[in-house]
Amino acid sequence: MDFALGLETSARLLYSLPSRSSSGMKIKGAVLSSSRADCRDGGVYSVDRARFAQSLNMTDCIVEQLRSGEAFQLVRVVDSVDGTLKVVKIVSRSMIDDDAVLDGVKWLRRRRLNCPSYSKLVDNFNSPHDWYLVFECARVTLKDILAREDMDPLPVRHVRAIMHQLVNAVDSLHRRSMMHLDICPAMIEIVDPSTIEERVYTEEGCFVKKVVLCCTEIRVVFYGDVGSRTDRDVGTDQYRAPELVFGWASRSGTDTFSIGCVFSELLTGRPMFPPCSEEELYVLAKAHVFEAVLGEFPPDVVHSVSFMHQGLFNSSDELKGFYDLSEDLRGFLCSIKTIQEEIEDDDAEEVLRSMTMISPADRVHLSDVLSFAYFSRAGADSYD
């Protein structure tokens, strides 16, 4: 059966299945709307499930909603032909010009044929109302690897190799005037997740067995920026750059910041910032977290933030509202380590600091990152 028809059929099952968030928890409401052609519920775009119903094959089903935006939706589906998972980006034709979608599709298809650094676009089709971009689903991501206690910490050579590929892949997007805007460990696929054991020498002066990846080749999970580039809530909380949080325009340095957050997690084994998505005052919480980890806000940034969010700073340019934060977050802020305290490798610290400056204008250009001394060490561009 044609995958496109199977996908359209899959929505028939939607209301007999629980809607699920990316964390696997049930969420209120269904993924797709039941009637309107283009409905806007709280600024989130949803898709009429009736548009899918074309086939009688009921083995396909939408199993998870990944993300929704003003003009797009990401869903994970099962392909009934071969049983593999696919990710489908659904883009509203009434909100996004067809030429923009087709231009993105052409680029994604060229990348599929000529460059293994990105997720593969396997199909695309359209209905009168929507475009459907079908991608392979990442099997194992860097998030999965970082969650394994038996692999913590990653070997330094693997950290350099992963960063080398990530920087090159995203810089390639920037050269095409495209931005990713959702770089995080879950968006970095490990091509070959097989592992081996090797013996490593510890600080205690003994050899121990360590589980490591056989190969560190990665693919960047990228579904194109059409429909999502201007979305207000783009990005993943702990990896979002200040400009996304404060509502400034995104730029290439936005991705640079997110890559820096991934770099920090590779070095330390834990996210650079605590989660703030459940904080009642999200922008205030992120501002305090940024200052605690990265240092004081530059005067020009204070001015820009205050223009968008009045009341965050007092007359002395100091952040307000510490006791409006949750108790857990206040505890984190009181025990936070600076980058200098957290990162022992001076060369790695230099890279991390240059990528995660609060002001986008102060960040290093991504094309210059690999010229740092940290990446001149042997093995930085080797994936084995």
| Helices 252-268 and 346-355: angle between axes, nearest 10 degrees | 150
The domain segmentation of the chain, as residue ranges, is 3-136, 142-376
Residues 6+ positions from 296 with CB-CB distance below 8 Å:
none
**Which distant-in-sequence residues (6+ apart) come within 8 Å of 316 by Cβ?**
none
**Average predicted confidence (pLDDT) for the chain:** 82
| Confidence category of residue 53, pLDDT binned at 50, 70, 90 | very low
Is the predicted pLDDT of residue 156 greater than 70, yes or no? Answer: yes
Q: Higher pLDDT residue, 113 or 371?
A: 371
In this prediction, residue 171 carries a pLDDT of 95
Q: Of 64-73, 86-95, 242-251, 338-347, where does mean pLDDT reach its minimum?
A: 64-73
In this prediction, residue 26 carries a pLDDT of: 28
Residues 273, 275: Cα–Cα separation, whole Å: 7
Residue 206 pLDDT > 50:
yes
pLDDT at 70 over 90: no
Q: In which element (H, E) is residue 132 found?
A: strand 130-136
- Considering the domain 3-136 in this protein, what is its CATH number? 3.30.200.20
Per-residue tokens: 96: 């996004």
As assigned by CATH, the class of the 142-376 domain is mainly alpha
Query: What's residue 338's pLDDT?
Result: 85
Residue type, 20: R
Residue 79 has a pLDDT of 64
Cα dihedral value 246, 249, 252, 257, nearest 10: 0
What are the b/e assignments for 220-244, b being 16+ CB within 10 Å?
Answer: bbbbbbbbbbebeebbbbbbbbbbb
Q: What is the pLDDT of residue 264?
A: 97
- pLDDT for 14: 38
Start-to-end CA span in the chain (Å): 39
Q: What is the pLDDT of residues 8-45, one digit of tens each?
A: 444 433 333 333 333 332 222 333 433 333 443 444 55
